[in-house]
Amino acid sequence: MARKAILLGVLLCLGSGCRERVDPVVAEMARGMETVRPATGFRIVSARGEDRTLILQIATDAETAQAWDASGIAHMFAAVICAAPRGGNFFAEGRTLRVEISTAGRAATNATVNRCSGPVGQGLTIDTMVEMLRPMVGRDLGDGAKITSVRAEGQTLVMVMDGRPGWRAGLDQATLNGVLLDDPCSRPGGFRLFDGTRSLRIDTTEGGRNLTRGEAIRHCPAPRLARP
Protein backbone atom coordinates (compact mmCIF):
# COMPACT_ATOMS: atom_id res chain seq x y z
CA MET A 1 0.00 0.00 0.00
CA ALA A 2 2.79 2.43 0.93
CA ARG A 3 4.60 1.78 -2.33
CA LYS A 4 1.40 2.42 -4.29
CA ALA A 5 0.91 5.72 -2.44
CA ILE A 6 4.47 6.85 -3.24
CA LEU A 7 4.05 5.87 -6.89
CA LEU A 8 0.72 7.72 -7.09
CA GLY A 9 2.37 10.83 -5.62
CA VAL A 10 5.15 10.71 -8.19
CA LEU A 11 2.68 10.32 -11.06
CA LEU A 12 0.56 13.22 -9.81
CA CYS A 13 3.66 15.46 -9.62
CA LEU A 14 4.68 14.51 -13.13
CA GLY A 15 1.22 15.34 -14.38
CA SER A 16 0.82 18.64 -12.56
CA GLY A 17 4.43 19.82 -12.68
CA CYS A 18 4.61 20.25 -8.88
CA ARG A 19 7.89 21.48 -7.40
CA GLU A 20 9.96 20.39 -4.44
CA ARG A 21 9.30 22.26 -1.22
CA VAL A 22 11.73 25.12 -0.70
CA ASP A 23 13.59 25.01 2.61
CA PRO A 24 12.27 27.93 4.74
CA VAL A 25 15.78 29.15 5.59
CA VAL A 26 16.64 29.22 1.88
CA ALA A 27 13.36 30.97 1.06
CA GLU A 28 14.03 33.67 3.67
CA MET A 29 17.58 34.22 2.41
CA ALA A 30 16.31 34.50 -1.18
CA ARG A 31 13.85 37.21 -0.15
CA GLY A 32 16.63 39.08 1.64
CA MET A 33 18.90 38.91 -1.41
CA GLU A 34 16.32 40.74 -3.51
CA THR A 35 17.23 43.98 -1.71
CA VAL A 36 21.03 43.53 -1.82
CA ARG A 37 22.98 46.00 -3.95
CA PRO A 38 26.39 44.43 -4.66
CA ALA A 39 29.53 46.29 -5.70
CA THR A 40 29.68 48.09 -9.02
CA GLY A 41 29.91 45.58 -11.86
CA PHE A 42 27.55 43.05 -10.25
CA ARG A 43 23.78 42.87 -10.57
CA ILE A 44 21.52 40.28 -8.96
CA VAL A 45 19.04 39.35 -11.67
CA SER A 46 17.06 36.94 -9.50
CA ALA A 47 17.25 35.07 -6.20
CA ARG A 48 15.24 31.93 -5.66
CA GLY A 49 15.24 28.67 -3.75
CA GLU A 50 15.11 25.10 -5.00
CA ASP A 51 14.74 22.62 -2.15
CA ARG A 52 17.86 23.33 -0.01
CA THR A 53 19.74 25.39 -2.61
CA LEU A 54 19.80 29.19 -2.83
CA ILE A 55 20.27 30.16 -6.47
CA LEU A 56 21.53 33.62 -7.39
CA GLN A 57 21.51 34.68 -11.01
CA ILE A 58 24.10 37.44 -11.36
CA ALA A 59 25.02 39.59 -14.33
CA THR A 60 28.48 41.14 -14.55
CA ASP A 61 30.11 43.53 -16.98
CA ALA A 62 33.15 42.48 -19.01
CA GLU A 63 35.64 44.35 -16.81
CA THR A 64 34.33 42.75 -13.62
CA ALA A 65 34.37 39.31 -15.23
CA GLN A 66 38.10 39.74 -15.82
CA ALA A 67 38.77 39.97 -12.08
CA TRP A 68 35.98 37.73 -10.75
CA ASP A 69 34.89 34.28 -11.91
CA ALA A 70 31.85 32.27 -10.77
CA SER A 71 33.81 30.54 -8.02
CA GLY A 72 35.09 33.84 -6.64
CA ILE A 73 31.65 35.45 -6.68
CA ALA A 74 30.12 32.42 -4.93
CA HIS A 75 32.87 32.61 -2.31
CA MET A 76 32.20 36.32 -1.77
CA PHE A 77 28.45 35.87 -1.31
CA ALA A 78 29.02 32.91 1.02
CA ALA A 79 31.30 35.07 3.17
CA VAL A 80 28.59 37.75 3.36
CA ILE A 81 25.92 35.20 4.28
CA CYS A 82 28.06 33.52 6.94
CA ALA A 83 29.10 36.81 8.53
CA ALA A 84 25.51 37.91 9.11
CA PRO A 85 24.32 37.39 12.70
CA ARG A 86 21.60 35.02 11.49
CA GLY A 87 23.55 33.50 8.61
CA GLY A 88 26.07 31.35 10.44
CA ASN A 89 23.86 28.25 10.23
CA PHE A 90 22.82 28.73 6.63
CA PHE A 91 24.97 25.89 5.31
CA ALA A 92 23.81 23.43 7.98
CA GLU A 93 21.50 20.55 7.10
CA GLY A 94 22.81 20.24 3.54
CA ARG A 95 21.99 23.73 2.30
CA THR A 96 24.06 25.10 -0.57
CA LEU A 97 24.53 28.31 -2.54
CA ARG A 98 24.77 28.27 -6.33
CA VAL A 99 25.60 31.33 -8.38
CA GLU A 100 24.91 31.47 -12.09
CA ILE A 101 26.95 34.17 -13.83
CA SER A 102 26.11 35.78 -17.16
CA THR A 103 28.35 38.23 -18.98
CA ALA A 104 27.59 39.74 -22.37
CA GLY A 105 29.42 37.87 -25.11
CA ARG A 106 30.46 34.96 -22.89
CA ALA A 107 29.04 31.56 -22.06
CA ALA A 108 27.22 31.41 -18.73
CA THR A 109 29.11 29.82 -15.84
CA ASN A 110 28.13 28.66 -12.36
CA ALA A 111 29.68 27.58 -9.07
CA THR A 112 28.39 26.03 -5.85
CA VAL A 113 29.45 26.58 -2.22
CA ASN A 114 28.37 24.35 0.67
CA ARG A 115 30.23 25.72 3.70
CA CYS A 116 31.49 28.81 5.48
CA SER A 117 35.18 29.52 4.95
CA GLY A 118 35.48 32.77 6.92
CA PRO A 119 34.18 34.38 10.12
CA VAL A 120 30.72 33.23 11.18
CA GLY A 121 28.03 35.45 12.68
CA GLN A 122 30.34 38.39 13.40
CA GLY A 123 28.93 40.94 10.97
CA LEU A 124 31.03 42.95 8.53
CA THR A 125 34.42 42.77 10.26
CA ILE A 126 37.87 43.39 8.80
CA ASP A 127 38.40 39.61 8.66
CA THR A 128 35.16 39.17 6.72
CA MET A 129 36.32 41.73 4.17
CA VAL A 130 39.64 39.92 3.78
CA GLU A 131 37.76 36.68 3.14
CA MET A 132 35.45 38.37 0.63
CA LEU A 133 38.39 39.75 -1.36
CA ARG A 134 40.60 36.65 -1.19
CA PRO A 135 39.43 35.28 -4.58
CA MET A 136 40.88 38.37 -6.29
CA VAL A 137 44.43 37.39 -5.33
CA GLY A 138 46.40 36.49 -8.44
CA ARG A 139 43.79 37.58 -10.97
CA ASP A 140 44.74 39.95 -13.81
CA LEU A 141 43.37 43.47 -13.28
CA GLY A 142 44.54 44.72 -16.66
CA ASP A 143 47.88 45.94 -18.02
CA GLY A 144 49.66 43.18 -16.11
CA ALA A 145 48.65 44.48 -12.66
CA LYS A 146 47.34 42.07 -10.05
CA ILE A 147 46.65 41.80 -6.34
CA THR A 148 49.15 39.41 -4.78
CA SER A 149 47.89 39.36 -1.20
CA VAL A 150 45.06 40.55 1.02
CA ARG A 151 45.38 40.48 4.80
CA ALA A 152 44.39 42.26 7.99
CA GLU A 153 46.78 44.14 10.26
CA GLY A 154 44.66 45.03 13.25
CA GLN A 155 41.85 47.17 11.81
CA THR A 156 43.71 47.85 8.56
CA LEU A 157 42.95 45.99 5.35
CA VAL A 158 46.26 45.59 3.52
CA MET A 159 46.29 44.89 -0.21
CA VAL A 160 49.52 44.32 -2.14
CA MET A 161 49.49 45.15 -5.86
CA ASP A 162 52.17 43.96 -8.25
CA GLY A 163 53.01 44.91 -11.83
CA ARG A 164 55.73 44.92 -14.41
CA PRO A 165 59.02 46.65 -13.59
CA GLY A 166 58.50 50.41 -13.86
CA TRP A 167 54.70 50.31 -13.67
CA ARG A 168 54.67 52.68 -10.69
CA ALA A 169 56.58 55.41 -12.49
CA GLY A 170 54.43 58.55 -12.54
CA LEU A 171 51.69 56.86 -10.52
CA ASP A 172 51.00 58.85 -7.36
CA GLN A 173 49.15 57.57 -4.31
CA ALA A 174 45.97 59.51 -5.10
CA THR A 175 45.71 57.92 -8.56
CA LEU A 176 46.35 54.45 -7.17
CA ASN A 177 43.71 54.97 -4.48
CA GLY A 178 41.25 56.10 -7.13
CA VAL A 179 41.77 52.96 -9.21
CA LEU A 180 40.53 50.80 -6.33
CA LEU A 181 38.16 53.17 -4.54
CA ASP A 182 36.33 55.25 -7.16
CA ASP A 183 33.70 52.58 -7.81
CA PRO A 184 32.99 51.34 -4.25
CA CYS A 185 33.06 54.88 -2.85
CA SER A 186 30.58 56.13 -5.46
CA ARG A 187 27.91 53.67 -4.32
CA PRO A 188 25.09 54.89 -2.04
CA GLY A 189 26.39 54.82 1.53
CA GLY A 190 30.04 54.80 0.43
CA PHE A 191 32.59 52.06 1.01
CA ARG A 192 31.50 50.11 4.08
CA LEU A 193 35.10 49.41 5.06
CA PHE A 194 35.39 52.97 6.34
CA ASP A 195 33.40 53.11 9.59
CA GLY A 196 35.64 55.41 11.63
CA THR A 197 37.80 52.60 13.01
CA ARG A 198 38.95 50.65 9.93
CA SER A 199 41.42 51.72 7.26
CA LEU A 200 42.91 50.53 3.97
CA ARG A 201 46.57 50.41 2.94
CA ILE A 202 47.76 49.65 -0.58
CA ASP A 203 51.33 48.38 -0.81
CA THR A 204 52.99 47.90 -4.21
CA THR A 205 55.76 45.82 -5.77
CA GLU A 206 57.36 45.57 -9.20
CA GLY A 207 57.88 42.07 -10.51
CA GLY A 208 57.37 40.80 -6.96
CA ARG A 209 60.20 42.96 -5.58
CA ASN A 210 60.89 46.39 -4.10
CA LEU A 211 57.93 46.60 -1.74
CA THR A 212 56.68 50.14 -1.18
CA ARG A 213 54.40 50.65 1.77
CA GLY A 214 51.36 52.84 1.07
CA GLU A 215 49.66 55.36 3.31
CA ALA A 216 46.71 54.42 5.50
CA ILE A 217 43.39 55.52 3.98
CA ARG A 218 40.61 56.16 6.48
CA HIS A 219 37.85 57.61 4.30
CA CYS A 220 36.73 57.76 0.70
CA PRO A 221 38.74 60.22 -1.40
CA ALA A 222 37.05 63.35 -2.68
CA PRO A 223 35.51 62.87 -6.13
CA ARG A 224 37.96 63.69 -8.88
CA LEU A 225 36.88 66.40 -11.31
CA ALA A 226 36.43 65.27 -14.89
CA ARG A 227 38.87 66.71 -17.36
CA PRO A 228 37.42 69.40 -19.68
| Residue 50 main-chain phi, psi, to 5 deg | -130, 105
CATH code for residues 137-217: 3.30.300.250
- What pLDDT was estimated at residue 7? 41
SS3 letters across the chain: CHHHHHHHHHHHHHHHCCCCCCCHHHHHHHHHHCCCCCCCCEEEEEEEEECCEEEEEEEECHHHHHHCCHHHHHHHHHHHHHHCCCCCCCCHHHCEEEEEEEECCCCCEEEEECCCCCCCCCCCCHHHHHHHHHHHECCECCCCCEEEEEEEECCEEEEEEEECCCCCCCCCHHHHHHHHHHHHHHCCCCCCCCCCCCEEEEEEEECCEEEECCCEECCCCCCCCCCC
The alpha carbon torsion through 74, 79, 84, 87 (nearest 10 deg) reads 60
**Contact in structure between 118 and 83 (CB atoms under 8 Å):** yes
Question: What is d(CA 140, CA 133) in angstroms, rounded to the nearest whole number?
Answer: 14
Instruction: Select 24-113's CATH number: 3.40.50.2000, 3.30.300.250, 3.50.50.60, 3.30.465.10.
Output: 3.30.300.250
User: Full-prediction pTM beyond 0.75?
Assistant: yes
Q: Domains of the chain: which residue ranges? A: 24-113, 137-217
Per-residue pLDDT tens listing for the chain (228 residues)? 444 443 444 444 444 444 558 999 999 999 988 777 666 678 889 999 999 999 999 998 887 787 788 999 999 899 989 988 888 899 999 999 999 999 887 888 999 999 998 888 888 889 998 998 898 898 887 778 899 999 999 999 999 999 999 888 878 877 877 777 877 777 665 567 888 899 999 999 999 999 999 989 888 876 654 444
Q: What is the pLDDT of residue 4?
A: 42
Common-topology check for domains 24-113 and 137-217? yes
